[in-house]
């Protein structure tokens, strides 16, 4: 009975902003799909020799293509797994992996680039979406009971429009290193640098018009890309940033969910933030977060009785959280933010809080609410709007702006 009781408690906690980590009352907790302890979780991906890198990236520059291998592509397209050079938020050169997918037909004019930033899969190297057997596909949920994915939403639509699609795994997923989960500038740079890498595949004729698209963890990364691109990769003309249900670290308090252990490992590595407050069992889960997917961390937690955390986060940890809140720099590119009103993963209140901050700083931002849609269903429901919004940016039409909202 003790294990069943703890399981129910963990499932309840999972509803408390699994990606956003916003503090909420247990009284308003909702049921969440996934993390079912009775389900047969799908196995983690397996690393292959392609994902190993010794020191080939030393002395290179961000965006340098280190290697590529062909993978199966949608009809009429070509696709590669790639390893390329990127930088962390503190300017360390690192190897990063991902996918580049493009129409197979040659183009006489430079093609726009669609920069896809994926949602949470975990903190381990074997969580990289490009590790899937057939990774260049439209978004796939690996199991009805596992809320992790690979692939790119609307992929065939993007390819039919002539876009080159780039999809970073992020630093520490796939390639060597510790994944800097929710380190916004690192994730933004990883996406910008794979866009740079696409220019080194000459037959693609990659251009410099850039569209950025992210969901959940990737929505957070997309917002940071809007802020980071002008200084980090000024050669691009970033025309728009679309963020679906973007995660945020505002108001974070400890919540006993798998993501908190991935986050703690990330902040400890990226910012040297002490792991104050975590018990021996909590530290064991942080360690395990470097070996398995997000669902694997949950499964591991069922072996322990807890508590996993006592006290409070170290001030340096809180400072790291604050450094990774978007909206502190203007986004030159206009923003479309799409969110479901029944999202039980990322609290819609975070988007409501972010909107006036973005307007105050001078962003051009439009928020679209999808009534009664949750974290996942909003992807399909928002398809037409997102695709048209991107088309309008390429056509040079004025971006809509929620300027009527009181600042």
pLDDT digits (tens, 9 = 90+) for 37-79: 666 677 889 999 999 998 888 899 999 999 999 999 999 999 9
Lowest-confidence region among 211-215, 275-279, 351-355: 351-355
Residue 283, pLDDT > 90, answer: yes
DSSP state of 138: B
DSSP string covering 94-110, please? EEEEEEEEEESS--SSP
Confidence band (pLDDT; 50, 70, 90) for 404?
low
Q: Round to the nearest angstrom and report the end-to-end CA distance of the chain.
A: 51
Residue 7, pLDDT > 70, answer: no
Task: Please check whether residue 348 is in contact with residue 119, taking contact to mean a CB–CB distance below 8 angstroms.
Answer: no
Write down the CATH superfamily of domain 49-249+330-394: Alpha/Beta hydrolase fold, catalytic domain (3.40.50.1820)
Q: How far apart are CA 240 and CA 404, in angstroms?
A: 21
HSE-up of 59 (CA within 13 Å, CB side)? 3
Closest CA to 236 of 282, 272, 176, 188: 188
pLDDT digits (tens, 9 = 90+) for 117-156: 999 999 999 999 999 999 999 999 886 666 689 999 999 9
- Can you give the pLDDT at residue 37? 61
- Can you give the pLDDT at residue 35? 57
- pTM listed for this prediction: 0.90
Confidence band (pLDDT; 50, 70, 90) for 405?
low
Instruction: Break the chain into its structural domains and give their ranges.
Output: 49-249+330-394
Mean of the pLDDT values across residues 237-259? Answer: 91
Residue 248, pLDDT > 60, answer: yes
């Amino acid at each position: 009975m003790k294990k069943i009781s703890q399981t129910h408690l963990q499932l309840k906690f999972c509803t408390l902003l699994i990606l956003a980590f916003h503090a909420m009352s247990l009284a308003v907790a909702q049921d969440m799909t996934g993390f079912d302890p009775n389900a047969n979780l799908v196995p983690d991906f397996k690393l292959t020799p392609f994902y190993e890198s010794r020191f080939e990236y030393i002395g290179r520059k961000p965006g340098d293509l280190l290697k590529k291998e062909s993978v199966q592509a949608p009809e009429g397209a070509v696709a590669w797994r790639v390893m390329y050079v990127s930088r962390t938020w503190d300017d360390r050169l690192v190897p990063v992996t991902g996918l580049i997918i493009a129409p197979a037909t040659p183009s006489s004019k430079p093609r726009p680039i669609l920069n896809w930033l994926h949602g949470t899969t975990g903190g381990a190297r074997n969580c990289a979406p490009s590790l899937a057997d057939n990774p260049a596909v439209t978004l796939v949920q690996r199991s009805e009971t596992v809320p992790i994915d690979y692939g790119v939403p609307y992929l065939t639509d993007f390819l039919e429009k002539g876009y080159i699609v780039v999809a970073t795994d992020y630093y520490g997923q796939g390639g060597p290193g510790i994944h800097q989960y929710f380190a916004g500038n690192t994730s933004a740079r990883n996406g910008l640098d794979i866009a740079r890498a696409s220019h080194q595949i000459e037959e693609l004729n990659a251009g410099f018009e850039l569209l950025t698209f992210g969901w959940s963890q990737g929505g957070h990364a997309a917002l940071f890309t809007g802020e980071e691109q002008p200084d980090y990769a000024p050669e691009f003309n970033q025309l728009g940033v679309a963020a679906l249900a973007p995660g945020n670290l505002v108001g974070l308090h400890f919540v006993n969910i798998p993501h908190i252990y991935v986050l703690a490992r990330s902040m400890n590595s990226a910012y040297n933030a002490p792991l104050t407050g975590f018990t021996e069992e909590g530290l064991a889960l942080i360690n395990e977060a470097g070996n398995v997917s997000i669902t694997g961390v949950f499964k591991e937690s069922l072996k322990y009785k807890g508590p996993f955390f006592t006290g409070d986060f170290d001030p340096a940890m809180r400072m790291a959280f604050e450094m990774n809140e978007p909206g502190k720099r203007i986004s030159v590119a206009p923003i479309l933010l799409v969110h479901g009103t029944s999202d039980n993963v990322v609290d819609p209140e975070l988007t409501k809080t972010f909107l006036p901050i973005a307007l105050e700083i001078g962003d051009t931002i439009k928020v679209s609410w999808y009534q009664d849609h949750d974290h996942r269903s909003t992807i399909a429901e928002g398809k037409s709007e997102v695709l048209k919004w991107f088309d309008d940016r390429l056509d040079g039409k004025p971006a809509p702006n929620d300027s009527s909202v009181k600042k």
